[in-house]
Every structure is written in structure tokens, then in C-alpha cells.
């Protein structure tokens, strides 16, 4: 890499991917609709008692967001794989991990962050007590990027496989369990008046590790699955 700084590569990749997601607006709407569906159906299927719903709310919102981001996981590399862009990225002198890092960031921004932004609405739908909204939001802000980063590594492993959805879910779920336990657990702890920042700190530590390692691991996995 003679002339291009890491920053300009990162921004070029972000710019490309943001443009792409703006031009495929339907893809942004899909995870939102899915999460709204899960939450609405949940309220219909269980009792409509505000007190009971409020108890379940943190868990329902976390599960809805987790499953909806699992659905969009496959899309991180699929189009780049299908149109040969991934091959060009592999051949380019630019470090692949950097490009993949930008790709994951934009995926989180376009597929997961809208859900976090809509969480106050979800919380209203489920009668979540207003004092729990802050812990819920914080746990999601720290937890969902971790979900995207871990998911990106697994999606990279399955990138060349057709109909990889099943495999992806099987591989991702066990890794998502601790994130869910700490994330939703923090909100439950807050609702019972316990200290809840500990779980968030652990998620934060995981996030920091993942930010450093996941793009590198994903790039290595892509190289393996394409060769």
C-alpha cells in the first residue's frame, strides 16, 4: 500500500456500502418489519396484561432484534460474492480486514441500528417501565455491534456455500447465547433493583475484543472459503 491511507480505504468502502444500502431500501425495511412482527405476534399470543408483558419485555425485544439481525447476516457478503466484487477485494492490495471492517460497520448501521433506534417504540408496545428504557438501550447499543461482528465471522465461513442459512443459524446461535444472556440479563437485573452495569461492562469488553479481532478473522475466513 503505497499511496492509500487506511482511513481513505475505510471511508471508500463505507461510502460504497452506504450508497448500496441506500439504493436497496427494501433491505433496510425487512429487519424492521420482522422485529415489529415478532413483537406484535408475541403480544397477541400471550396475555395482553400490561404487568405480565412488562416482565417479558426486555427478553422479547432482545430476542426479536437478535433473530432479525440473524436473518440479515447472510446479506453481508452474498451480493459481493455473487457479482465477483469479493474476488476483486481479495486481489486488491488493500488489506481485506480493513474493507471487511467497513462492510460490517455499514451492515450494522443499515440493518441493526434502525432497530435500536425504534426500541423506545417497541418498549411502549410492551409496557416496559420507563426507568428500564435506559438500561435496555445501553445494553442494545453495546450488544448489537457485538452480534454483527460475531455474525460477520460466521457468515464469512459460509460465504461460498449455497443455501447456507441453516448452517449459519446453527453456528451463530451458540455464540449469540452469552450476548443475549448478558444483554437481556442486565435489563432484568435493573428491573429487580440490582447493579446492572457489570453485565454491560462485560459486553463492552467483548465488543472491544471483537472490533479488533472479528474483521481479521472474517477476512481470513473469506480467504479460506473462496479458495
Partner 1 sequence: MNDFLTNSIVLEVKQLSYFRNEEKIFGPIDFSLNGGKALLITGDNGSGKTTLLRVLSGLLRAQSGEIIASKSGQTYSDLSHACAYLAHKPGHKSELSCVENLEYLQIIFDQVKPELIEPALNKVGLSGYEDTPAKQLSAGQNKRLGLARLLLSQSPCWLLDEPYANLDLQGIELVNRLIQEHTECGGAVLLTTHGAYAAPAVPCQTLVLANVRTDR
- Per CB under 8 A, residues contacting partner 1 are 1-4, 8-9, 12-13, 15-16, 19-20, 23-24, 79, 82-85, 87-94, 99, 226-227
The nearer residue to partner 1, 84 or 193, going by C-beta atoms, is: 84
Residues 66-104 as b/e (b if ≥16 CB within 10 A, e otherwise) read: bbbbbbbbbbbbeebbeeeebeebeeeebebbbbbbbbb
The nearer residue to partner 1, 202 or 226, going by C-beta atoms, is: 226
Alpha helices by DSSP H, the chain: 6-23, 25-45, 50-73, 75-82, 85-91, 96-107, 113-125, 133-157, 165-191, 197-226
Shortest Cβ 10–partner 1 spacing (Å): 10
Tell me how far apart the alpha carbons of residues 4 and 7 are, in angstroms, rounded to a whole number. Answer: 8
CA distances from 120 to 98, 125, 138, 179, 193 (A): 33, 9, 12, 21, 21
Shortest Cβ 114–partner 1 spacing (Å): 19
Q: To which residue does cell 417497541 refer?
A: 122
Tell me how far apart the alpha carbons of residues 128 and 187 are, in angstroms, rounded to a whole number. Answer: 11
Shortest Cβ 3–partner 1 spacing (Å): 6
Shortest Cβ 79–partner 1 spacing (Å): 7
Tell me how far apart the alpha carbons of residues 108 and 112 are, in angstroms, rounded to a whole number. Answer: 5
Shortest Cβ 227–partner 1 spacing (Å): 5
Shortest Cβ 165–partner 1 spacing (Å): 22
The nearer residue to partner 1, 86 or 214, going by C-beta atoms, is: 86
Shortest Cβ 190–partner 1 spacing (Å): 42
Q: Is 127 left (phi over 0), alpha (psi -120 to 50) or beta?
A: left
C-alpha cell at 30: 425487512
The nearer residue to partner 1, 19 or 52, going by C-beta atoms, is: 19
The nearer residue to partner 1, 15 or 52, going by C-beta atoms, is: 15
The nearer residue to partner 1, 61 or 100, going by C-beta atoms, is: 100
> 225: closest CA among 160, 133, 151?
160
The nearer residue to partner 1, 6 or 177, going by C-beta atoms, is: 6
Amino acid at each position: 500500500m503505497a499511496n492509500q491511507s487506511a482511513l481513505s480505504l475505510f471511508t471508500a468502502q463505507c461510502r460504497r456500502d452506504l450508497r448500496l444500502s441506500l439504493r436497496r431500501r427494501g433491505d433496510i425495511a425487512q429487519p424492521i418489519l420482522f422485529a415489529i412482527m415478532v413483537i406484535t405476534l408475541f403480544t397477541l399470543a400471550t396475555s395482553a396484561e400490561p404487568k405480565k408483558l412488562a416482565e417479558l419485555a426486555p427478553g422479547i425485544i432482545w430476542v426479536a432484534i437478535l433473530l432479525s439481525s440473524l436473518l440479515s447476516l447472510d446479506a453481508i457478503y452474498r451480493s459481493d460474492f455473487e457479482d465477483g466484487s469479493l474476488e476483486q477485494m481479495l486481489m486488491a492490495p488493500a488489506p481485506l480486514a480493513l474493507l471487511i471492517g467497513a462492510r460490517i460497520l455499514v451492515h450494522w448501521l443499515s440493518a441493526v441500528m434502525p432497530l435500536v433506534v425504534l426500541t423506545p417504540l417497541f418498549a411502549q408496545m410492551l409496557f416496559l417501565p420507563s426507568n428500564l428504557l435506559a438500561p435496555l438501550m445501553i445494553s442494545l447499543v453495546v450488544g448489537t455491534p457485538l452480534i454483527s461482528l460475531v455474525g460477520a465471522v460466521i457468515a464469512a465461513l459460509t460465504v461460498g456455500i449455497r443455501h447456507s442459512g441453516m448452517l449459519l443459524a446453527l453456528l451463530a446461535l451458540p455464540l449469540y447465547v452469552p450476548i443475549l444472556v448478558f444483554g437481556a440479563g442486565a435489563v432484568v437485573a435493573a428491573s429487580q433493583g440490582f447493579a446492572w452495569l457489570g453485565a454491560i461492562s462485560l459486553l463492552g469488553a467483548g465488543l472491544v475484543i471483537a472490533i479488533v479481532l472479528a474483521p481479521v478473522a472474517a477476512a481470513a475466513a473469506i480467504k479460506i472459503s473462496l479458495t
